Amino acid sequence: MRTGFKPVMHMPFCRPVLAGGAHGLPLGARLPYQLSMTPAQMTFTMPPSSGPKMLTKRADFVAANRGLRNAKPGFVLLTLPNKGLGKRMGVTVTKKIGNAVVRNRMKRRFRELLRSALPERGLNDHDHVLIGRAGGVERDFHTMASELDRALARAQQGKGDAPRGHSRKSRPRNRKTKEAPRP
């Protein structure tokens, strides 16, 4: 049993309680604090954030794929109007890029790029999605920041790259021809 326990900070909604064996402590031992309010009595409000909100739903990422596309060596930026929901951002990195450590590092870098660039240079009421490319992990952060600025400027002008898979001229499809049987 601990003696002389004094709380460092006064918390009006918490009270010291006696443990009853359920916590693995002997009966009568004191736990530091337990909430004395029910969850319904507690209300927490988050301060309004000035930065862009994160995209979390798959449908938002799929919808962004229909938007404007700006490809750079380390990433692809997708932008799509979101009907007045403000500036939102999303990051996606596929398993082709590397293992979980590499992908998470890339996502952290992308989130920081977007957090720093979108408040000033992002498109209002648009979703911004960065898709990681193979060279994005090794690229210099400042180089990627300048590439993101150029991609956002192109998106602001309404310019983008060709949609995926349609960059070449369409060619006639090869028709299967019957080959002569081999002896």
- Report domain extents, the chain: 11-37, 55-156
Token pair listed for 71: 């490809």
Quote the pLDDT of residue 104. Answer: 92
Three-class DSSP category at 109: helix
Mean pLDDT by 10 residues, the chain (183 residues): 52 52 57 56 55 82 87 90 86 91 91 88 87 86 91 86 61 59 66
Q: Which CATH class is domain 55-156?
A: alpha beta
- Which residues does 20 contact at the CB level (< 8 Å), separation at least 6? 27
What's the pTM? 0.61
